[in-house]
Amino acid sequence: MEDTYDVVVVGAGPGGEVVADRTVRAGLTAVVVEAEAVGGECSYRACVPSKALLRPGAAREAARSVDGARQAVTGALDPARTLARRDRFTARGDDTGQADWLTGSGIPLVRGHGRLAGARRVDVTGADGTVRTLRARRAVVLSPGTEPALPQIEGIDRVGVWTNRQATTADAVPERLVVIGGGVVACELATAWRSLGSAVTLLVRGRTLLADWEPCAGEEVARGLTDLGVTLRFGVSADRVARDEATRAVRVETDDGSTLVCDEVLAAVGRRPRTHDLGLDTVGRTAGDWLPVDDTCRVAGLDGDWLYGVGDVNHRAPLTHMAKYQARACAAAIVERAAGRPADPGDWGAWSARADRVAVPQAVFTRPEVASVGLTERAARAAGGAIRAVEYRIDDVAGAALHADAYRGRAKLVVDETRGVVVGCTLTGPMATELIHAATVAIVGEVPLERLRHAVPAFPTVSEVWLRLLEAYGL
């Protein structure tokens, strides 16, 4: 069976959905191919369920941080209700609602495994083994996402190790949990399961958490995890894991000679692209590789304007919101090229996904929260130019003190003094994830500091930290 559309999208995650929707609304035809659930990893096994697990603990702590409310909050979290609330957000993996949205938007959904079979052609193998061929008049968009990468540890393939998928969908709270990793997923899920009652140990191969962030972010998250009761072990790696068939307990042997016994092991050490069986070899690319793309998400090194890679698979900014951003740029470029108007990816215009190189906002829902956008001081200095960084304790802002007793937070601004603009910002503390968008606007808009000083934050809000940062800079 063979069908032809203007655009064939492989992968129904956030990026694929947006590309299909925007091209169809522009008058083109599009079809979406998906082997698993419409909505992708984020909807069912990553961002949404993890935040649902984290929110009850954060709400309880917020209430207990204010005298008068603290006395009314005396109980522990209810794990069963927390897990049930998570399931309401994820529908326990049932993608009926999102699939109905696709078809209701005039976008056919083809269920099965899609792989390239040459230029502008995708073969889809259904669950029953039948193959359907889809041809694209204009473009094929690959948006398959990523999958967890497992560390090289003896026995890890035999113990039933958790990845983000099991850790966000588990139906019971493990009594003891060992987490391997020190990045965002490791820190958030350690926070979530500790809040629900697990005895959590975090094994971090390096000497800090969130190693690619400003040092203050990792320091504050480490303090918060410790205060929560998580055991942090830096400079330690797991060498071997084995599950006892009788007790189902897992033994974790580490490179410092110690042994941990737990009920589950969560491996959170990174992701790899889901391109090993995507047919890249049929168009001269290497199976298993990330897809290098330009600012319209067009795959580099191929003749023509027909193959695109959107979202995590291009490794530019592996975050759901950036996948959607890239998808908007990609769809606009496809539509314009279809109309014979070549897209120029070199500007901030409709075709450019430039922001995923200069202003990627990130939010981590640990306790405390941490958020960042743009460059760290280290990255900015490595890029050259006159760089100056200023820091301020958010605790000293009146709005922060009113927001929570014993509020603790830090703010750091990275400034390009040659241009007089902000190029990076990191915030820690309650509400940090809600505060970061102001910095995103300042960086994307390249707002001169001399003008930014006139953006007066309301009193008494936590956002007054912006005034204090600029004062610390000397304005």
User: Inter-axis angle of helices 47-64 and 184-195, to 10 degrees?
Assistant: 50
Question: Binding residue per annotation — 181?
Answer: yes
Contact 178, 240 (CB under 8 A): no
Question: Binding residue per annotation — 184?
Answer: yes
Q: H-helix or E-strand containing 61? A: helix 47-64
Rounded CA separation 43/46 (Å): 7
Task: Compute the chain's Rg from CA coordinates.
Answer: 24
Question: Binding residue per annotation — 186?
Answer: yes
Rounded CA separation 24/38 (Å): 17
Q: H-helix or E-strand containing 390? A: strand 387-393
Nearest to 108 by CA among 7, 192, 193: 7
Q: Tokens representing 145?
A: 């996402």
User: Inter-axis angle of helices 320-338 and 14-25, to 10 degrees?
Assistant: 30
**Secondary structure (3-state) at 474:** coil
Question: Binding residue per annotation — 312?
Answer: yes
The residues facing 374 across adjacent strands are 424
**Secondary structure (3-state) at 360:** coil
Rounded CA separation 471/411 (Å): 13
Contact 468, 461 (CB under 8 A): no
Rounded CA separation 101/37 (Å): 13
Q: Tokens representing 378?
A: 């280290």
Rounded CA separation 440/458 (Å): 19
Question: Binding residue per annotation — 68?
Answer: no
Question: Binding residue per annotation — 360?
Answer: no
Q: Tokens representing 41?
A: 């990893």
Question: Binding residue per annotation — 324?
Answer: no
User: Inter-axis angle of helices 47-64 and 79-90, to 10 degrees?
Assistant: 140
Question: Binding residue per annotation — 185?
Answer: yes
86-109: burial string, b at 16+ Cβ within 10 Å, e else: bbeebeeeebeebbebbeeeebeb
Q: Tokens representing 268?
A: 């959170």
Question: Binding residue per annotation — 188?
Answer: yes
Give whole-number Cα distances, 175 to 87, 249, 459, in Å. 21, 10, 45
Binding residues for NAD(+): 181-188, 270
Binding residues: 51, 114, 181-188, 270, 312
Binding residues for FAD: 51, 114, 312
